A and B are shown apart, each in its own frame.
Chain A
Amino acid sequence: MNNIEFTLEKPHVSASPHQRTEVTTARLMTDVCIAMLPALFWGVYHFGMYSLLVTAATVLACVVSEYAFEYFMGKPITVKDMSAVVTGMILALNMPPYIPLWIPMLGGVFAIIVVKQLYGGLGQNFMNPALAARCFLLISFARQMTDFSVESMPWATTVVDGVSGATPLAYIKAGGEVDITSLLVGNIPGTIGEVSVIALLIGAAYLLIRGVITLRIPASYILTVLVFTAFFGGRGLDPYYLLCEICAGGLIFGAFFMATDYVTGPLTPNGQIIYGIIIGILTGLFRLFGGSAEGVSYAIILGNVLCPLIEKYTVPTAFGKGKYQKSKTRSAESKLNNMVVVKTFAITLVSGVLLGGVYVLTKDPIDKANEAALYSAYEELVPGADKYVDMSESEALAAAVENINAELSESGVYGDVTVNNVVTATDGSGNVMGYVVDVTDHEGYGGDIQITVGYMPDGDTGEIKSTGISFLAIAETAGLGMKAEEPQFKDQFTGKPAMAEGDAPLALTVTKSGEAGDTEIDAISGATITSNAVTNAVNAANMAVHAAVSSDASAVFTAASAESSEGGNE
């Protein structure tokens, strides 16, 4: 009995409470990892063992960079809290399955060191490290990050011309239809972890049951995407289409595993709902009106940035304060919840209508502006014409251009180049004044280069000569390839004849000598690829003009040139 004195020699004293939950940060993080396992298993089963290697390498990169950073900065080592593993897994599951290993590993280092540790480590980063790293990789290695190596599309139920190698969402955007079962099971291309909705929902259910996440963010997010798509997807309440939009494009993965990230999401209950709505609207916007079909990552990243603002304005009313004082009844709470739902819905609706309205209002002017830009290019190249007639008006011409494209892609003599259009410029009495050819070369350094080339008969000889080129689309390297737009390069094409001797289209060649001959073009120094692409495009245009002149239109064209030479004599 006297042992009390002994045993209480040094009792601990601390402020209440003296009990603590068993749940720790490491347990929560481990639960998130466990919840991602079904998706990972499916990814490995579907895409092969290499996916597992990608995941392992990414996780390793994250954990090692966290350890190394903390070690060298003299901070306590926190890799045991599993947060770096979670970051690594989320990043890996966002990777295309056949990506070279160094890309996700670089992403892992970026995520941990730049996004997480430089901002102060766990709990301090304002962007989801895995997502920020994914966006970083998407911008830096666009080709590899969007290469899903899709050869066949067994999941596609219709065939859409010109759409190959697309993810289901891109395919749907292009007007195709996909098999819903494949979407649910995950028999589709995509990143390692996003494809199987069923596997992801198993993981999500695990997180909900374990109390790791609540439904507020995922539900408001998915519902908003649903409402937005129903309003602006152009297919109304078509359940098949809505289901496709929800199952595809990593929305489920994003909603349950990325938007629910603790550190970068709002704390307040209403804030979480508003956050879900905002990223839902952004996702819808990016998907339906943006350039790419996928928008989940960028939407969540933008939501992360808005989080402190959302929190500031959604501090809940304290128990017994404000609205709770007015109502004496128990239904106060349910009324409140209804209010949140109604407000949420109203916000979605209003912002959706506003955004949609802006789109509708600006769509026409934008189209008109594009058209005007095209016309001004025509006007510049073949001035003074009354009408510019599209090649679709003449069956013969369209057929001729189709033949040329076939020939070009078969022979490959000018690389990967396509003639888009041949426009015939006519005067008031319908006589042909000249041609404008619209060509795209797909082998620019920075992607497609689209140009228009003008042709008119020479005032004296009647020989058909180029009146110059105009760029419609070019995205080459500034200071190098972009010099193509400067007169020094561009003007070389002006006055070059379309035909060579013997009634064949003239083929220009690129020289680096600096002293170009009649059929040569001086390369832009340091940008041979761009120079070649533009020259090849002009050569293809020459072929198209040659075909146009040789066809039945040529007679009119000669007459026009005779007329113009008469005019010249006067």
Chain B
Amino acid sequence: MNSATFKGGTHPFEGKSLSENSEIRFAEFSGDYVFPMSQHIGAPAKPCVNVGDHVLAGQKIGEAQGFISADVISSVSGTVKKVEPRMQVSGQPQMSVVIESDGKFETVSGIGEMNDWQSFSKDDIRKAVKDAGITGMGGAGFPTYVKLMPKDDEAIDYFIANGSECEPYLTSDYRLMMEEGEKIVAGLKICLMLFPNAKGVVAIEDNKPKAIAHMTELCKGEQRIEVRALKTKYPEGGERQLINAVTGRYINSSMLPADVGAIVDNVATIIAIYEAVALSTPLMEKVITITGDAVAEPSNLRVRIGSSYKDALLFVGGLKKEAKKVICGGPMMGQALFDLDVPVTKPSSALCVFEHDEVAEKPTTPCIRCARCVNACPEFLVPPMMVKAATNGDLEGFEALNGMECMECGTCSYVCPARRPLTQIFKQARKMVMNKRRVEAAEKRQREELERIASEAAEAARAAALERLK
């Protein structure tokens, strides 16, 4: 098989065999559900319910603020218990709506109704997606309806369903392709209705031959959709790398995929689009993988958004061994947790629990300049030079070395034989640069405001003087 790919990357231990054959099970929990107002990139939503209100599943509880934002939908019926900051996966508290489930899961009327989506207009489709509160479900959480509104619909020639799932241990997308492939094809057809010149591509890493075969079978007869095998390599599913592998085009950090005529959505997002448009169902559930060598029964679960990871872990039998590390997401880009009582959100993908912490077990030694990180960096950066700039506090040097192009994929840290915390250093430096930019922008705004006030005052004084002269 001639699989498409990008330049660079690495091959971390896959670990997918733990859960890849476990069929998706539905897990429902009682008790409190927590809905953070910021599960997406962009402005946080604003709570639109009050403590004591009774809500139904499918009801909007957070209102999108601004263009790049998304509604938050309740996944349960029950009473709003609190509207307060709650601890999140990131380790920081965030404004959340807490709903005490009544255990009935009553939905608002109309949910699940079949629509005649083939006759929908572009606006109908976009509105359905927006109202469903769909955001990218691959990890970043970019509001999907924004993605579906490029400047020029005609200029889009690739619509890519991302089923590469390059992150180790994760199998939820694989299971979705195996079990709900029809929805992916239908969802892709809905998306293609928006873009008359686009070709639909289902991109799958070649370590999932069954999924490739299954999706190829489902796409048979679809003129505008094809399945493309990708080389198994991390980070094949990164948006920029995926576009490069499929189309040969390049985008940088300041560009959108639409700038090179491509739109990428995760397969789970495409299923959500299908359900929103065809079944009038907003985004209320998420398939996540609970896996790792310490988990009693590694599984793929369909859970309601807002559930606690703790409940999900208990559902699969808890732990079979003492664990050292808990990761929300995959081991390459996931977030280490110190508390399991945090909610599942729209971009959540997995919970990995490991017996060992490889990071702590392997000590850091001096950089030997082996250039393995340089060869592996999918963004063609030179990590050792960036580290030098960052640790010397030379933020301008860091930017000059294209440090802001870093997407923190972790490849450099993974391949480093000296176990240097490269990605961590870059995360910090990037935050510092962004902070600096924010401060500079604020100062500029303030300066301009002062100048405006001064010139207005001068103008007024001049006008007054002219008035007196008359």
Contact = CB atoms under 8 A, between A and B. Distances in A.
Interface of A: 1-4, 6-8, 11-21, 23-25, 27-28, 78, 81, 83, 121-124, 214, 262-263, 265, 267-269, 272, 311, 315-321, 324-325, 328-333
A500 B418 CA distance: 79
B406 to A, nearest CB: 9
Contact of B248 (A27, A268, A318, A332): A332
Given A11-B324, A268-B382, A16 B417 contact: no
Contacts of A1: 314, 317-318
A333 B6 CA distance: 10
Contacts of A4: 310, 313-314, 318-319, 340
Contact of B380 (A14, A262, A317, A329): A317
Given A8-B340, A262-B371, A19 B12 contact: yes
B375 interface: yes
B63 interface: no
A23 B405 contact: no
A11 B334 CA distance: 15
Contact of A123 (B260, B314, B366, B421): B366
Contacts of B366: 121-124
Interface residues on B, range: 35 or more
Given A4-B318, A28-B417, A319 B360 contact: no
Contacts of A329: 248
A25 B365 contact: yes
5 contacts: A4-B340, A13-B337, A19-B332, A267-B384, A319-B405
Among A20, A262, A269, A315, the one with the most B-chain Cβ atoms within 10 Å of its Cβ is: A20
A20 B413 contact: yes
B423 interface: yes
Nearest to A330: B248
Interface stretch (B43-51, B80-88, B249-257): B249-257
A122 B358 contact: no
A21 B325 contact: no
Contacts of A214: 375
A81 B314 contact: no
B140 interface: no
Nearest to B246: A330
A15 B251 contact: no
Contacts of B7: 333
A14 B360 contact: yes
Interface in B1-29: 7, 10, 12-13
Interface centre among B337, B366, B385, B414 (most CB of A within 10 A): B366
Nearest to A265: B369
Given A3-B318, A3-B319, A319-B250, A11 B375 contact: no
Nearest to B296: A1
Mostly, the B contact residues are: loop
A15 B430 CA distance: 14
A18 B319 contact: no
B378 interface: yes
A25 B416 CA distance: 9
Interface in B372-406: 372, 374-375, 378-382, 384-385, 401-402, 405
Nearest to B251: A320
Interface in B246-280: 247-253, 255, 260
A2 B319 CA distance: 9
Among the interface residues B314, B358, B360, B381, which one has the most CB atoms of the partner chain A within 10 A? Answer: B358
Given A19-B414, A333-B7, A318 B323 contact: no
Contacts of B313: 4
A12 B336 contact: yes
B338 interface: yes
A20 B248 contact: no
Greatest chain A CB density within 10 A among B327, B337, B360, B368 is at B368
Contacts of B314: 1, 4
Nearest to B414: A17
B250 A332 contact: yes
Interface of B: 7, 10, 12-13, 91, 168, 240, 244, 247-253, 255, 260, 294, 310, 313-314, 317-319, 321-327, 329, 331-338, 340, 352, 354, 357-360, 362, 365-372, 374-375, 378-382, 384-385, 401-402, 405, 408, 410-411, 413-419, 421, 423-424, 427
Contacts of A121: 366
Given A18-B327, A20-B358, A122-B368, A320 B333 contact: no
Nearest to B243: A320
A524 B255 CA distance: 82
A12 B324 contact: yes
Given A263-B369, A315-B385, A319-B378, A17 B331 contact: yes
A315 B375 contact: no
Nearest to B409: A17
Contacts of B168: 19
B405 A19 contact: no
A321 B252 contact: yes
Given A11-B338, A262-B369, A321-B402, A17 B252 contact: no
Contacts of A17: 12, 331-333, 410-411, 413-414, 423
Given A11-B336, A124-B366, A21 B402 contact: no
B248 A328 contact: yes
B331 A23 contact: no
Contacts of B10: 21
B382 to A, nearest CB: 6
Nearest to B261: A328
Contact of B358 (A7, A19, A319): A19
Given A7-B294, A7-B321, A11-B324, A16 B368 contact: no
Q: Which 4 A-B pairs have the closest CB atoms?
A: A330-B248, A17-B410, A320-B252, A324-B250
A184 to B, nearest CB: 31
Contacts of A265: 369
Contacts of B378: 319
B415 A23 contact: yes
A16 B369 contact: no
Nearest to B357: A12
Given A28-B370, A123-B368, 4 more contacts: A12-B357, A12-B360, A16-B408, A123-B418
B294 A267 contact: no
B417 A15 contact: no
Nearest to B402: A318
B382 A267 contact: yes
Contacts of A272: 371
Contact of A25 (B13, B382, B408, B418): B418
A321 B405 contact: yes
Given A1-B317, A262-B370, A27 B417 contact: yes
